[in-house]
Amino acid sequence: MYRTATFYYFSGTGNTKALAEAAGEALSQQGTAITLRDVANHHEYCPAALIGVFFPVYCFGAPRIIVNFVRSLPPGEGKAAIVVANAAGTAGPAHAAVARALSQKGYHVKLADWVRMPNNYIVFSEADVDSKAAGIVAAGRAKVAELLAALGDAPSTLPHYSRFGPLALAHRMFLFGLNYMGRHYRANDACTGCGACVTMCPTQCIALDSDARPRWKAGCEHCMRCVNFCPEAAIEFGRFTKGKKRYTYWMDKTKGALRHESCS
Ligand SMILES: Cc1cc2nc3c(=O)[nH]c(=O)nc-3n(C[C@H](O)[C@H](O)[C@H](O)COP(=O)(O)O)c2cc1C
Ligand code: SF4
Ligand code: SF4
């Protein structure tokens, strides 16, 4: 159906990456050549007959890095696009907002939907334990494969979106709050100074100071990777994460998957 497709994604703790891969597998079975792109690693546009934008929902909207990526895309000129968000409970208007932004750029949005995935947000809620996460991930991957398999028949109607709705406003406040996020992280006494947080941060906004303690700089997306994947569970976000179980389902797999892929 599509000769080539490029799926762009941002993933804090691995869920979105798993969905982008499942979508890629589903389309490649139909003969499409797939390129997967982590927008945290490279921003350049890779031409293809179909583009996909995959992201975790952050406060009922897309992560800032995805919002900026969509803004940076060239005019769509009728090219086909899909939007797949994922959330632990409520996506709100997240997928509709990105679909509308793509449509305004001239993309023909064929699919805009969201899929439930495990919860990684341990600031205001509890993480899903690995055994429960496994079931949710399997169902999420199956749902995405189903959506992709039905792509040819899908009526391409844009979901309704109002930028003045209460959830859209909450998301705008979240984006504003990102400017102040860095100051709330700290490493507790369990920190060994191993530096894993520095290398795993997708936006390179952690540095070790002279006494091997992590310091947070500007640019944090609040993705929760460092908090959930620190091997000592030593990173706290204010008082909110103290004593809480971390979301570790993809812990080892995702760190190794942060690699640069060149545009072919
Ligand atoms: C900052 C932040 C905000 C979140 N906001 C929402 C939300 O509004 N609704 C929801 O259902 N899940 C929310 N979540 C949960 C994530 O969307 C969900 O766990 C997602 O699968 C994480 O994907 P990832 O592993 O690719 O980062 C939030 C997570 C983070 C880190
Ligand atoms: S990953 Fe954890 S233990 Fe290692 S330096 Fe960072 S905060 Fe410390
Ligand atoms: S500092 Fe932590 S939460 Fe912020 S972007 Fe880096 S890994 Fe994600």
> Which atom in ligand 1 lies closest to the alpha carbon of residue 174?
1
pLDDT at 47: 87
CA-nearest residue, atom 2 of ligand 2: 230
d(CA 22, CA 140): 9
Local structure of 51: helix, strand or coil:
strand
181 C-alpha to ligand 3 centroid (Å): 9
The 3-class SS string of 213-224 reads: CEEECCCCCCCC
230 lines ligand 3 (CB under 6 A): no
CA-nearest residue, atom 9 of ligand 1: 90
98 lines ligand 2 (CB under 6 A): no
Q: Which of 161, 174, 163 is nearest to 64 (CA)?
A: 174
Q: Which of 14, 74, 11 is nearest to 39 (CA)?
A: 11
Q: Is the pLDDT of residue 236 over 80?
A: yes
Q: What pLDDT, in 10s, does the model give residues 80-120?
A: 999 999 999 999 999 999 999 999 999 999 999 999 999 99
pLDDT at 44: 73
pLDDT at 255: 56
Q: What's the mean pLDDT in 184-202?
A: 95
CA-nearest residue, atom 8 of ligand 3: 223
pLDDT at 252: 76
CATH 3.30.70.20 for domain 180-256 = yes
221 lines ligand 3 (CB under 6 A): yes
95 lines ligand 3 (CB under 6 A): no
- Residue of 120, 179, 191, 226 with the most ligand 3 atoms within 8 Å of its CB, for mutation: 226
d(CA 9, CA 207): 25
Structure-derived torsion over alpha carbons of residues 75, 9, 66, 42, reported in degrees to the nearest 10: -80
24 C-alpha to ligand 2 centroid (Å): 33
Domain assignments of the chain as residue spans, ordered by start: 4-170, 180-256
Tell me whether the CATH fold assigned to 4-170 matches the one assigned to 180-256: no
pLDDT at 264: 46
- Kindly report the backbone phi and psi dihedral angles of residue 155, in degrees, each rounded to the nearest multiple of 5, phi listed first: -70, 130
**DSSP code per residue over 148-184:** HHTGGG----PPP--TTSHHHHHHHHHHHHGGGGGGG
191 lines ligand 3 (CB under 6 A): no
Q: What pLDDT, in 10s, does the model give residues 143-172?
A: 999 999 988 766 677 888 988 899 999 999
226 lines ligand 3 (CB under 6 A): yes
- The CATH-assigned architecture of domain 4-170 is 3-Layer(aba) Sandwich (3.40)
